[in-house]
Amino acid sequence: MAKVILKGKKNERIEKGHPWVYSTEILSIKGNYKPGDIVEVYLENGKFLGKGYINPKSQITVRFLTKNKDEEIDREFFKNRIIKALNYRKQLNYGESYRLIYAEADFLPALIVDKFNNTLVIQTLSLGMEKYKNIIVDILVELLSPECVYERNDAPVRELEGLELKKGVLYGELPEKIIIEENGIQYYVDVVEGQKTGFFFDQRENRKAIEPFVKGKEILECFCYTGSFALNAAKYGANNILAYDYSDEAISLARENAKLNGVQDNIKFEVGNAFDILRKFYNDKKKFDVVILDPPAFVKSKKALEGAIRGYKEINLRGMKLLKPGGFLITSSCSHHVKDELFFEILMSAAYDAKVTMRIIEKRSQAKDHPVLAASEETSYLKFYILELY
């Protein structure tokens, strides 16, 4: 087994539990290896740090699988890790649909598995995890007996690992329609063409958290995707909801979801660019009781941070200007590079420019099936605020 030697006599980030080795941290590699192989990682002084898979094409050259030198990386290893992830999710009482494996936070770096009833959707987002894909699918079938395992390996991040983009059935047969239930609401899920794996479980508790603030209210939602926040608002008694998304396919599915739950008369789903919609309602002097903003990640890298800050500032500023006095802005960011403190600064700046006073009613994060690895800030990404504005 090849040995990766890091620069320096200590590496606090890794020694505290961070699961990545960057290419710039490597002093030398001793022994032969092929990309995707398991390697051992050491400090210059010979201290063992862990074992993981290596890919010299990636800036994240090694991703740790274990800190135990004697632990073999084999089928039994992956089975034990998947069982632990499954047992944890069972404690949450989330029903039959949830994120089963959340990559580094479940000690299986670059592996995502979402469970939609009897359909599993898998992403292997690194070369090392791709090598074990067939073993992982075999274990998932053994443990869960799914109707189908479908891969959504069309995420552009795979190209950074030298991997092709692809999607398709890996096991079984894909159901004609997939319907899941969350918080008592049913959703059609498009695992083939939908965003990411087809549904965003990370807002589960946040969708429920809006309940006290929407009954009898007039609501505007932007970036609604397939309608989850709007559907929850309707369930909790909102009587007039306008919801927009730029995707025709998403809006079509949102309308089906409204019919599925019998709230089609409470929600008007329309295709539209959020920036244009917010600007139009402001020019028309339209006011709402609640504005909900759940945008996709505006920033995929640090280089794009400045533009993302402007984008978040604009939508939140315009959202605040559309609220009646005492209205609620329900807003979030899923951009990892926009840290908690920065997102709060953006909201404060928007409130100042909108000339409103902001009260924080609740600050939340991602759902419990997306646990945060304390040593890896990358696993914490979702910021969610319920704000009252005067």
User: Quick one: CA dihedral 120, 125, 126, 127, positive or negative?
Assistant: positive
Sign for the pseudo-dihedral over CA of 275, 278, 282, 283 = positive
Give the closest residue to 258 by CA, choosing from 270, 247, 246. 270
H or E element, residue 75: helix 75-91
Task: Retrieve residue 121's tokens.
Answer: 């959707």
Distance in angstroms (rounded) separating the CA atoms of residues 47 and 66: 15
Q: Which residues contact 99 (CB under 8 A, 6 or more apart)?
A: 89, 112, 113, 114, 115, 201, 202, 367, 369, 370
The token pair at 127 is 């070369």
Alpha helices in 261-383 (DSSP H): 274-283, 305-321, 340-354
Q: Identify the active-site residue in 148, 222, 224, 334.
A: 334
d(CA 365, CA 358): 19
**Measured CA distances, 287 to 280, 291, 321, 390 (Å):** 12, 9, 8, 13
For residue 351, give the nearest of 321, 312, 309, 310 by alpha carbon: 321
Q: Based on the residue annotation, tell me whether 148 is a catalytic residue of this protein.
A: no
Q: 225 and 243 in contact (C-beta within 8 Å)?
A: no
Q: At 54, phi and psi to the nearest 5?
A: -115, 145
Q: Give the Cα separation of 191 and 23 in Å (integer).
A: 34
Residues with a catalytic annotation lie at 334
